[in-house]
Protein backbone atom coordinates (compact mmCIF):
# COMPACT_ATOMS: atom_id res chain seq x y z
CA UNK A 1 0.00 0.00 0.00
CA UNK A 2 2.73 2.49 1.04
CA UNK A 3 4.67 1.85 -2.18
CA UNK A 4 1.88 3.49 -4.17
CA UNK A 5 1.99 6.71 -2.16
CA UNK A 6 3.55 9.70 -3.95
CA UNK A 7 7.05 10.92 -3.13
CA UNK A 8 6.54 14.32 -1.48
CA UNK A 9 10.09 15.49 -2.21
CA UNK A 10 9.58 14.68 -5.90
CA UNK A 11 6.28 16.60 -5.92
CA UNK A 12 7.94 19.57 -4.19
CA UNK A 13 10.66 19.54 -6.86
CA UNK A 14 8.12 19.45 -9.69
CA UNK A 15 6.15 22.37 -8.22
CA UNK A 16 9.39 24.33 -7.73
CA UNK A 17 10.37 23.77 -11.37
CA UNK A 18 6.93 24.98 -12.50
CA UNK A 19 7.15 28.05 -10.25
CA UNK A 20 10.73 28.96 -11.16
CA UNK A 21 10.45 28.18 -14.89
CA UNK A 22 13.56 26.02 -15.04
CA UNK A 23 15.06 22.79 -13.74
CA UNK A 24 18.18 24.40 -12.26
CA UNK A 25 16.31 27.08 -10.33
CA UNK A 26 13.69 24.62 -9.11
CA UNK A 27 16.35 22.15 -7.97
CA UNK A 28 18.19 24.87 -6.05
CA UNK A 29 14.98 25.92 -4.30
CA UNK A 30 14.44 22.47 -2.84
CA UNK A 31 18.15 21.67 -2.35
CA UNK A 32 18.58 18.88 -4.91
CA UNK A 33 21.52 18.60 -7.32
CA UNK A 34 20.41 19.14 -10.90
CA UNK A 35 21.41 15.67 -12.27
CA UNK A 36 19.43 14.02 -9.46
CA UNK A 37 16.52 16.40 -10.07
CA UNK A 38 16.40 15.41 -13.73
CA UNK A 39 16.19 11.72 -12.80
CA UNK A 40 13.46 12.42 -10.22
CA UNK A 41 11.35 14.26 -12.79
CA UNK A 42 11.82 11.49 -15.34
CA UNK A 43 10.48 8.98 -12.79
CA UNK A 44 7.49 11.26 -12.08
CA UNK A 45 6.65 11.42 -15.78
CA UNK A 46 7.00 7.64 -16.07
CA UNK A 47 4.62 7.16 -13.14
CA UNK A 48 2.19 9.71 -14.59
CA UNK A 49 2.33 8.03 -17.99
CA UNK A 50 2.65 11.35 -19.82
CA UNK A 51 4.99 14.29 -20.32
CA UNK A 52 4.65 16.85 -17.54
CA UNK A 53 7.17 19.42 -18.78
CA UNK A 54 8.15 20.92 -22.12
CA UNK A 55 11.91 21.48 -21.97
CA UNK A 56 13.90 23.82 -24.19
CA UNK A 57 17.07 25.94 -23.76
CA UNK A 58 15.03 28.81 -22.34
CA UNK A 59 13.56 26.78 -19.49
CA UNK A 60 10.88 24.26 -18.59
CA UNK A 61 7.16 24.88 -18.92
CA UNK A 62 4.38 22.58 -17.73
CA UNK A 63 2.30 20.75 -20.32
CA UNK A 64 -1.47 20.84 -19.96
CA UNK A 65 -1.21 17.57 -18.04
CA UNK A 66 1.62 19.07 -16.00
CA UNK A 67 -0.52 22.03 -14.96
CA UNK A 68 -3.21 19.71 -13.62
CA UNK A 69 -0.55 17.54 -11.96
CA UNK A 70 0.98 20.61 -10.28
CA UNK A 71 -2.40 21.77 -8.97
CA UNK A 72 -3.03 18.42 -7.26
CA UNK A 73 0.59 18.29 -6.04
CA UNK A 74 0.17 21.66 -4.34
CA UNK A 75 -2.93 20.40 -2.50
CA UNK A 76 -1.07 17.32 -1.28
CA UNK A 77 2.00 19.31 -0.20
CA UNK A 78 -0.19 21.78 1.67
CA UNK A 79 -1.91 18.90 3.46
CA UNK A 80 1.50 17.42 4.33
CA UNK A 81 2.61 20.75 5.78
CA UNK A 82 -0.55 20.88 7.86
CA UNK A 83 0.07 17.34 9.12
CA UNK A 84 3.73 18.10 9.97
CA UNK A 85 2.73 21.24 11.85
CA UNK A 86 0.07 19.35 13.79
CA UNK A 87 2.57 16.61 14.66
CA UNK A 88 5.15 19.10 15.90
CA UNK A 89 2.51 20.80 18.00
CA UNK A 90 1.21 17.54 19.47
CA UNK A 91 4.73 16.36 20.37
CA UNK A 92 5.58 19.63 22.03
CA UNK A 93 2.26 20.80 23.35
CA UNK A 94 3.71 22.22 26.54
CA UNK A 95 6.68 23.93 24.90
CA UNK A 96 6.61 27.69 25.28
CA UNK A 97 9.73 28.56 23.29
CA UNK A 98 9.38 30.62 20.15
CA UNK A 99 12.09 31.10 17.50
CA UNK A 100 11.55 34.50 15.88
CA UNK A 101 13.44 36.31 13.12
CA UNK A 102 13.06 40.08 13.04
CA UNK A 103 14.28 42.58 10.47
CA UNK A 104 16.31 45.41 11.89
CA UNK A 105 13.96 48.39 11.99
CA UNK A 106 11.25 46.31 13.68
CA UNK A 107 13.82 44.83 16.08
CA UNK A 108 15.15 48.24 17.10
CA UNK A 109 11.91 50.20 17.43
CA UNK A 110 8.92 47.86 17.87
CA UNK A 111 9.97 44.44 19.13
CA UNK A 112 11.07 45.53 22.65
CA UNK A 113 7.56 46.80 23.45
CA UNK A 114 5.99 43.72 21.84
CA UNK A 115 8.12 41.39 23.99
CA UNK A 116 7.29 43.34 27.13
CA UNK A 117 3.56 42.96 26.45
CA UNK A 118 3.96 39.27 25.54
CA UNK A 119 5.82 38.65 28.79
CA UNK A 120 3.05 40.42 30.72
CA UNK A 121 0.41 38.21 29.08
CA UNK A 122 2.37 34.94 29.09
CA UNK A 123 5.28 34.97 31.55
CA UNK A 124 6.32 31.40 30.67
CA UNK A 125 6.97 32.10 26.98
CA UNK A 126 10.65 32.26 26.05
CA UNK A 127 11.47 34.04 22.78
CA UNK A 128 14.68 33.14 20.97
CA UNK A 129 15.19 36.25 18.83
CA UNK A 130 17.40 36.61 15.74
CA UNK A 131 17.92 40.11 14.31
CA UNK A 132 18.50 39.82 10.56
CA UNK A 133 17.64 41.63 7.36
CA UNK A 134 14.33 40.78 5.69
CA UNK A 135 15.84 38.42 3.12
CA UNK A 136 17.58 36.43 5.87
CA UNK A 137 14.38 36.25 7.93
CA UNK A 138 12.47 34.85 4.95
CA UNK A 139 15.23 32.29 4.35
CA UNK A 140 15.01 31.19 7.99
CA UNK A 141 11.25 30.72 7.69
CA UNK A 142 11.64 28.76 4.44
CA UNK A 143 14.34 26.50 5.95
CA UNK A 144 12.33 25.88 9.13
CA UNK A 145 14.91 27.45 11.49
CA UNK A 146 12.44 30.14 12.49
CA UNK A 147 8.84 29.68 13.62
CA UNK A 148 7.80 33.27 12.98
CA UNK A 149 9.26 36.28 11.20
CA UNK A 150 8.64 40.00 10.98
CA UNK A 151 9.83 41.70 7.79
CA UNK A 152 9.78 45.10 6.11
CA UNK A 153 10.20 44.06 2.47
CA UNK A 154 7.31 44.14 -0.02
CA UNK A 155 8.84 41.10 -1.79
CA UNK A 156 7.07 38.20 -0.08
CA UNK A 157 7.62 34.72 -1.57
CA UNK A 158 5.01 32.11 -2.36
CA UNK A 159 4.65 29.31 0.15
CA UNK A 160 4.45 31.40 3.31
CA UNK A 161 1.54 32.80 5.27
CA UNK A 162 1.54 36.58 5.69
CA UNK A 163 -0.30 39.13 7.78
CA UNK A 164 0.21 42.87 7.21
CA UNK A 165 0.45 44.49 10.65
CA UNK A 166 0.79 48.17 9.85
CA UNK A 167 2.21 50.66 7.36
CA UNK A 168 5.58 52.31 7.84
CA UNK A 169 6.67 55.55 6.18
CA UNK A 170 10.07 55.97 4.54
CA UNK A 171 11.45 59.51 4.70
CA UNK A 172 14.36 61.36 3.11
CA UNK A 173 16.83 62.73 5.66
CA UNK A 174 19.97 64.84 5.40
CA UNK A 175 22.39 66.57 7.77
CA UNK A 176 21.25 70.08 8.80
CA UNK A 177 24.14 71.60 6.80
CA UNK A 178 23.20 69.78 3.57
CA UNK A 179 21.93 71.92 0.67
CA UNK A 180 18.61 70.05 0.68
CA UNK A 181 17.94 71.24 4.22
CA UNK A 182 17.59 74.79 2.89
CA UNK A 183 15.57 74.12 -0.22
CA UNK A 184 12.05 75.55 -0.43
CA UNK A 185 10.56 73.21 -3.05
CA UNK A 186 9.79 69.56 -2.27
CA UNK A 187 12.16 67.01 -3.72
CA UNK A 188 10.98 65.23 -6.86
CA UNK A 189 11.22 61.47 -7.22
CA UNK A 190 13.42 61.98 -10.29
CA UNK A 191 15.91 64.05 -8.27
CA UNK A 192 15.87 61.50 -5.48
CA UNK A 193 16.41 58.58 -7.88
CA UNK A 194 19.36 60.33 -9.56
CA UNK A 195 21.16 61.19 -6.30
CA UNK A 196 23.77 58.86 -4.76
CA UNK A 197 22.44 57.92 -1.33
CA UNK A 198 23.70 56.31 1.84
CA UNK A 199 21.82 52.99 1.75
CA UNK A 200 21.32 49.79 3.68
CA UNK A 201 22.83 46.57 2.42
CA UNK A 202 21.20 44.50 -0.31
CA UNK A 203 18.48 42.27 1.11
CA UNK A 204 17.35 44.78 3.73
CA UNK A 205 13.64 45.53 3.79
CA UNK A 206 14.28 49.27 3.84
CA UNK A 207 16.29 49.15 0.63
CA UNK A 208 13.97 46.66 -1.08
CA UNK A 209 10.94 48.79 -0.28
CA UNK A 210 12.56 52.03 -1.44
CA UNK A 211 13.69 50.51 -4.75
CA UNK A 212 10.20 49.08 -5.24
CA UNK A 213 8.64 52.52 -4.68
CA UNK A 214 11.31 54.41 -6.69
CA UNK A 215 12.59 51.86 -9.25
CA UNK A 216 14.97 54.29 -11.00
CA UNK A 217 16.96 54.66 -7.77
CA UNK A 218 18.40 51.17 -8.22
CA UNK A 219 20.34 52.42 -11.26
CA UNK A 220 22.23 55.08 -9.28
CA UNK A 221 25.29 53.73 -7.41
CA UNK A 222 25.11 54.51 -3.67
CA UNK A 223 27.65 56.75 -1.98
CA UNK A 224 27.87 54.25 0.91
CA UNK A 225 26.27 50.86 1.67
CA UNK A 226 25.99 50.04 5.38
CA UNK A 227 24.64 47.19 7.47
CA UNK A 228 22.41 48.94 9.99
CA UNK A 229 20.10 51.92 10.44
CA UNK A 230 22.42 53.32 13.10
CA UNK A 231 25.40 53.25 10.73
CA UNK A 232 23.36 54.99 8.02
CA UNK A 233 22.28 57.70 10.47
CA UNK A 234 25.88 58.33 11.56
CA UNK A 235 27.01 58.60 7.93
CA UNK A 236 24.24 61.10 7.11
CA UNK A 237 24.95 63.23 10.19
CA UNK A 238 28.64 63.20 9.19
CA UNK A 239 27.76 64.68 5.79
CA UNK A 240 28.16 61.58 3.60
CA UNK A 241 24.90 62.29 1.79
CA UNK A 242 21.12 61.85 1.98
CA UNK A 243 19.41 58.63 3.01
CA UNK A 244 15.93 57.12 2.94
CA UNK A 245 15.03 55.45 6.24
CA UNK A 246 11.98 54.46 8.22
CA UNK A 247 10.39 57.23 10.26
CA UNK A 248 10.71 54.80 13.17
CA UNK A 249 14.50 54.91 12.78
CA UNK A 250 14.87 58.70 12.49
CA UNK A 251 12.15 60.19 14.69
CA UNK A 252 14.45 60.84 17.66
CA UNK A 253 17.33 62.37 15.59
CA UNK A 254 14.80 64.57 13.78
CA UNK A 255 13.33 65.79 17.07
CA UNK A 256 16.85 66.44 18.40
CA UNK A 257 17.81 68.44 15.31
CA UNK A 258 20.56 66.03 14.31
CA UNK A 259 18.81 65.27 11.01
CA UNK A 260 16.55 67.23 8.69
CA UNK A 261 13.59 65.72 6.83
CA UNK A 262 13.25 66.65 3.16
CA UNK A 263 9.66 66.61 1.84
CA UNK A 264 9.01 64.63 -1.36
CA UNK A 265 6.63 66.09 -3.94
CA UNK A 266 3.28 64.45 -4.55
CA UNK A 267 3.68 61.22 -2.65
CA UNK A 268 4.42 59.51 0.64
CA UNK A 269 6.71 56.51 0.56
CA UNK A 270 4.95 53.74 2.48
CA UNK A 271 5.69 50.06 2.96
CA UNK A 272 4.02 47.24 4.91
CA UNK A 273 5.41 45.63 8.05
CA UNK A 274 4.44 41.97 7.81
CA UNK A 275 4.38 38.84 9.96
CA UNK A 276 5.34 35.65 8.06
CA UNK A 277 5.23 31.95 8.92
CA UNK A 278 4.89 28.52 7.32
CA UNK A 279 2.49 25.69 8.07
CA UNK A 280 -1.15 26.11 9.07
CA UNK A 281 -2.74 29.39 8.07
CA UNK A 282 -4.13 29.80 11.58
CA UNK A 283 -1.40 30.35 14.17
CA UNK A 284 -1.65 28.92 17.66
CA UNK A 285 0.25 29.12 20.93
CA UNK A 286 3.01 31.68 21.56
CA UNK A 287 3.30 32.59 17.86
CA UNK A 288 -0.38 33.59 17.76
CA UNK A 289 0.03 35.55 20.98
CA UNK A 290 3.01 37.53 19.64
CA UNK A 291 1.29 38.31 16.33
CA UNK A 292 -1.78 39.46 18.25
CA UNK A 293 0.39 41.76 20.38
CA UNK A 294 2.08 43.15 17.26
CA UNK A 295 -1.21 43.72 15.49
CA UNK A 296 -2.75 45.59 18.43
CA UNK A 297 0.24 47.81 19.22
pLDDT single digits (tens) 269-281: 999 999 999 989 9
- Beta strand 260-262 with 161-174: parallel, antiparallel or unpaired? antiparallel
Identify the structural domains of the chain with CATH numbers, from first to last. 2-91 (1.10.10.10), 97-163+273-296 (3.40.190.10), 167-271 (3.40.190.290)
**Gap between the Cα atoms of 273 and 271, Å rounded:** 7
Per-residue pLDDT reduced to its tens digit, 75-108: 999 988 888 877 766 555 445 789 999 999 999 9
The pTM for the full model equals 0.66
pLDDT of residue 59: 84
pLDDT value of residue 81: 85
Return d(Cα 114, Cα 119) in angstroms, integer: 9
> Which residues, 6 or more positions from 272, have their beta carbon under 8 angstroms from its beta carbon?
152, 154, 164, 165, 166, 167, 168
| pLDDT-flagged residues of the chain (< 50) | 1-2, 93-94
How does DSSP classify residue 13? H
pLDDT at residue number 94: 47
Long-range contact set of residues 84-93: C-beta below 8 Å, sequence gap at least 24 = 84/279, 85/278, 85/279, 85/280, 86/280, 89/284, 89/285
- pLDDT computed for residue 147 by the predictor: 94
Side-chain-side CA neighbours of residue 2 (13 Å): 0
Amino acid sequence: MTQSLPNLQALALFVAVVDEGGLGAGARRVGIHQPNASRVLSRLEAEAGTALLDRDPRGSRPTSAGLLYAAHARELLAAADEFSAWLRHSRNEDARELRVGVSMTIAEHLMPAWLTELRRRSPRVRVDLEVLNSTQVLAGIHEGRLTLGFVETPHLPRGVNTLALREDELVVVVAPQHDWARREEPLTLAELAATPLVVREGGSGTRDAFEELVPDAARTPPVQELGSNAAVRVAVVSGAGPAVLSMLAVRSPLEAGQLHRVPVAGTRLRRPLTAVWKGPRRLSGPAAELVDVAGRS
